[in-house]
Amino acid sequence: MHLPQHGWTRDQVLGTIDNYRENDANWRAGRTFSLVYYAGEEVKAVAEAAFLKLFAENALNPMAFPSLRRMETEVLAIASELLGDTRAVGTMTSGGTESILMAVKTARDWARIERPEVTAPEMLVPATVHPAFHKAAHYLGVRAIVVPVGTDYRADVVATRKLLTSNTILVVGSSFAYPHGVIDPIDELAQLAQEAGILCHVDACLGGMILPFVERLGHPLPPWNLAVPGVTSISCDLHKYGYTAKGASVILYRTRELRRHQFMGYADWPGGLWGSPSAAGTRPGGPIAAAWAVLHFLGEAGYLRLARQSLDAALAIQAGIAAIPGMRVLGAPVATVFAFCFDAGDTYRLGDAMQARGWNLDRQQSPPALHAMITAAHVAHVQAFLTDLRAATEEVRGLPPSSEGEAAMYGMMGSLPDRGAANELIVEFLDSLG
């Protein structure tokens, strides 16, 4: 591919993009269960319009674009109220991974001052925690110690206590954890951290914009946010159940003093005084504006409506799955995110059979399972999904593991005893993409 000698027409450019998109996942039709959070064309249009209004602006310099500073401040204020502490302070980031990187970086730099004797810092993370924590460990030199989960897929508090050492600087829990939609025992994990005089981060990137509204709909939840004593930071993705444009996330801290460890300043650059609040240099204005716009457009009533629709659809799908012989739902009963497995056959083969019917379900492991993230976009498709799922289970019931498709790949990867080799295969796959 070469840069064209003469520029294409607008129609050529946009038409080619449309052609490239022909085989993309059909998220508008409720056929995908991850990656895209869709609240309908009206919300999408508001997000797009707001995004384009500040398409070119850069929030790196808050003095140049005070509109972005104001919108970010107001988004953070809304998030702090929803996440349990109106006094919390934070920063908007490009997504959950950046928010998590900032939480770990903050803990590391806090420990350098408050725990200078720690030269090999560690953080305790549940086995179900998002891999972004392992990415942060790799980038930042903080060793991730994996805590086992119980039969309910929640972090094992007893095991966590046993793994605490003088090198531990951070304890992590999820609200909720991506694989099974469960909320870790945040109150107990935070208490352990508080007793040890260290930090506790809650990863609410997935659940942070729906759990407040699930509670307001009358469904009791275990303690999960900054309202819990001992929780010192929390992350939440607005572009998930907040339905804003990607990428928009927030990282919030209990105190300003703690947040200061996230920031960086450099005063000796010939180009001028330089300060950065997060990992990004350029901070696109579009996602900030779109987040502000959607939060105000939907309001509490809109988010309650979407939460109710999403939860009703999720519970209907869970009930339909449980009614199929040999099927089992994994995770919490009141969650819009869950996993399910097929004990009467090969779960991965079932995933391939559903994909052949046009449904894109993520594959999971330990145990083998299919993953579902339910939003209001799935409401109209619940019965069609369950009808196809019943047919697919009968098609693959009792069959051995498949030697083709994603079923074969996941089966092979899961059986490799050398996990380092499995990791290398993933890297090789990424390298093969382009």
- Domain boundaries, given as residue ranges, for the chain: 48-295
Question: How confident is the model at residue 235, as a pLDDT?
Answer: 98
Tokens 């990424």 locate to 430
Neighbour-count burial for 302-320, b at 16+ CB within 10 Å, e otherwise: bbbebbebbbbbbbbbbeb
Tell me the mean pLDDT in the region 329-358: 92
| Helix H or strand E segment including 354 | helix 347-356
The domain made up of 48-295 has a fold known as Aspartate Aminotransferase; domain 2 (3.40.640)
Reported residue count of the chain is 434
Q: What is the pLDDT of residues 391-407, one digit of tens each?
A: 999 999 988 887 666 65
pTM of the model: 0.91
Judged by average pLDDT, the poorest of 22-26, 66-70, 340-344, 378-382 is 22-26
Judged by average pLDDT, the poorest of 96-105, 109-118, 179-188, 328-337 is 328-337
Angle of helix 405-415 versus helix 347-356 axis, rounded to 10: 160
CB 74 within 8 A of CB 289: no
Question: How confident is the model at residue 431, as a pLDDT?
Answer: 57
Q: What percent of the chain has pLDDT over 70?
A: 93
Sign of the Cα pseudo-torsion (199, 81, 302, 291, in order): negative
Question: How confident is the model at residue 60, as a pLDDT?
Answer: 85
Residue 52 predicted with pLDDT over 60: yes
Question: How confident is the model at residue 404, as a pLDDT?
Answer: 67
Question: How confident is the model at residue 429, as a pLDDT?
Answer: 61
Three-state secondary structure call for residue 135: helix
How would residue 422 be classed by pLDDT, with cut points 50, 70 and 90? low
Residue 32 predicted with pLDDT over 60: yes
How would residue 140 be classed by pLDDT, with cut points 50, 70 and 90? very high
